[in-house]
Amino acid sequence: MQLTETTRGWFLNGEETYVDKTYDIFHPHTEDKLAQVPDSTPDMMKQAIEAAHAAFPKLKKLTKKERADMLFKAASFIEQEKEEVALTISKEACKPLKASLAEVDRTVQTLQFAGEEAKRLDGEYLSLDAAAGGEGRDAYTIFQPIGVIGAITPFNFPLNLTVHKVGPALAAGNPIIIKPSEQTPLSALYLAKVLTKSGFPKGALSVVPGDGVSLGKVLLEDDRVKKISFTGSPEVGKLIKSQAGLKRVTLELGSNSPMYVDRSITDVETVAQKAVQGAFAYNGQVCLSTQRIYVHEEVASSFKKAFVTFTEKLRFGAPEEQETDVSSLINKRSQERVFKWIGEAVEQGASLLTGGEKKDNGITPAVLERVPATASISCAEVFGPVVLINEVRDSQEALEAMNDSHYGLNAGVFTNNLSQAMQMAHELETGQVLINDVPTLRFDHMPYGGVKQSGYGREGVKYAMREMAELKMISINYQS
């Protein structure tokens, strides 16, 4: 095997290992070759499961303090290498550097949250004498690690979303195998090195790059894998759930996140500025991208004017450049699909206010109004730099439009009317509601997950850990 500067391995038993069969990864913007990585075989995935299974007793034995210390150490290593790590994300995911740097900051925090939560994974005391005949007993619950976890991850947050699985798994004492997105395995390989350097035992963490279908199948069919934690598209998520049998499953899937701007908002410019960020951060390739905006008719024209003005200030360019706000999409297929969906919406009666043109391998940020609910850019997940702004008569019409979706991840409501805010918060069919914030907002310790086709289960470090642990009840009969 000929090793070159760009040859990368897979991560097994604490080290990067090189193989003959590889595939190439290209920079989505420049189309330059970035790396050649293992096109892992099902047998390699079996080896990773074997190694993880063997590491489980060692991980289980680590004290909570030891696990926490290792996670804090990893956070501090990443913090020290922030610029370099961000550049890797920018290249493999074509993410503008500003956004990559923010992802690294969040990753550091997510690991720190995992370290803190490692120490707090506690059960509770139970009064068994609350039941007839239960007297004379003390009872309590503990959380125990469940065993090998398979993490299948998407391309769009190759470091922080991986850490959202790896951090909680290791904090709770479970080994984990990462099957990264085909396009973005480099951040996961880096993470594995850092966590190993921080003290986690060999086999605690493996990275097996390559084809999702064949490698996913091995994870799904092996009984030693106790849980699949998946982030990605609803199509693959449904398939995984239908094949998981008795394994635990967490699914973090897509969305077409909605937001409402009420007439009680006086400073619509500021809201428009935040919404532009929410719509076009990382070229709209965020599961929480602000995609559907409903604005009260009384403030609609000033909102749209400000929105278009801020949108037109965004700079399109190479992802590694400091000034770039938007760049090429992850692949040409995405560019073609997004471009087609914009055309279809216009054919169905929508008006394009700005953008929507092909540029390099991307699309310039597109704003459309009067978009029918049946257009793909309304009812499906765009995952590109496209937003719709439709006028509504009142908050009830907005609520109905917002809930008219197969998805339900985050929703944002801008209003100064408290009872309206609370009513909408209760009636929106989403996992999270953000009052006076865009739906694109997420803090890493929040419980986070979707309803409808947006997912199943919750992440957010503390909540993910509970889904990666077995609750055991222990009762002591002190009168026996």
Which residue, 215 or 265, has its beta carbon nearer to ligand NAD? 215
Which residue, 150 or 201, has its beta carbon nearer to ligand NAD? 150
> Closest distance between ligand NAD and the C-beta of residue 311, in Å?
22
Residues 6+ apart with CB under 8 A from 235: none
End-to-end CA distance of the chain: 68
Residue selected from 50, 66, 105, 182 as contacting ligand NAD according to rule CB under 6 A: 182
Q: Is 380 in the site for ligand NAD (CB under 6 A)?
A: no
Which residue, 262 or 444, has its beta carbon nearer to ligand NAD? 444
Show the binding pattern over residues 15-44: x = contacts ligand NAD (CB under 6 A), - = does not: ------------------------------
Residues 6+ apart with CB under 8 A from 469: 121, 143, 144, 145, 146, 172
Q: Is 156 in the site for ligand NAD (CB under 6 A)?
A: yes
Distance, CA of 258 to CA of 414 (rounded, Å)? 11
Residue selected from 307, 383, 456, 463 as contacting ligand NAD according to rule CB under 6 A: 383
Which residue, 150 or 317, has its beta carbon nearer to ligand NAD? 150
φ, ψ of residue 227 in degrees (nearest 5): -150, 145
- CA–chain centroid gap for 13, Å, is 26
Name the nearest CA neighbour of 404 among 421, 385, 422, 388: 388
Which residues lie across from 15 on neighbouring strands? 12
Q: Is 222 in the site for ligand NAD (CB under 6 A)?
A: no
Q: What's the burial of 321, exposed, middle or buried (CB within 10 Å: 0-12/13-18/19+)? A: middle
Q: Is 231 in the site for ligand NAD (CB under 6 A)?
A: yes
Q: What's the burial of 351, exposed, middle or buried (CB within 10 Å: 0-12/13-18/19+)? A: exposed
Q: Is 252 in the site for ligand NAD (CB under 6 A)?
A: yes
Q: Is 181 in the site for ligand NAD (CB under 6 A)?
A: yes
Residue selected from 7, 36, 233, 264 as contacting ligand NAD according to rule CB under 6 A: 233
Residues 6+ apart with CB under 8 A from 313: none
Residue selected from 126, 239, 422, 425 as contacting ligand NAD according to rule CB under 6 A: 239
**CA torsion, ordered 332, 334, 338, 340, to nearest 10 deg:** 60
Q: Is 257 in the site for ligand NAD (CB under 6 A)?
A: no
Residue selected from 85, 97, 225, 236 as contacting ligand NAD according to rule CB under 6 A: 236
> Closest distance between ligand NAD and the C-beta of residue 235, in Å?
7
> Closest distance between ligand NAD and the C-beta of residue 477, in Å?
45
Window of 22-30, 54-62, 212-220, 371-379 that interacts with ligand NAD by CB under 6 A: 212-220
Contact present, 202 and 13 (Cβ < 8 Å): yes
Which residues lie across from 413 on neighbouring strands? 260, 435
Window of 47-55, 69-77, 177-185, 420-428 that interacts with ligand NAD by CB under 6 A: 177-185
> Closest distance between ligand NAD and the C-beta of residue 368, in Å?
20
Q: Where are the alpha helices (DSSP H) in 28-122?
A: 42-61, 64-80, 82-93, 97-120
Residues 385-424, interacting with ligand NAD (CB under 6 A): 409
Q: Is 455 in the site for ligand NAD (CB under 6 A)?
A: yes
Q: Is 212 in the site for ligand NAD (CB under 6 A)?
A: yes
Residue that the structure tokens 């428009």 belong to:
272
Tokens of 157: 């947050």
What value, to the nearest 5°, has the Cα angle with vertex 142 and ends 136 and 143?
A: 160
Q: Is 309 in the site for ligand NAD (CB under 6 A)?
A: no
Which residues lie across from 205 on neighbouring strands? 176
Question: Is 287 known to be catalytic?
Answer: yes
Question: Cβ atoms within 10 A of the Cβ of 81, count?
Answer: 13
The residue count for binding ligand NAD (CB under 6 A) is 26
Residue selected from 22, 153, 187, 410 as contacting ligand NAD according to rule CB under 6 A: 153
Interface with ligand NAD by CB under 6 A: which residues? 152-156, 161, 179, 181-182, 212-213, 216, 231-233, 236, 239-240, 252-254, 287, 381, 383, 409, 455
Residues acting as catalytic residues: 252, 287
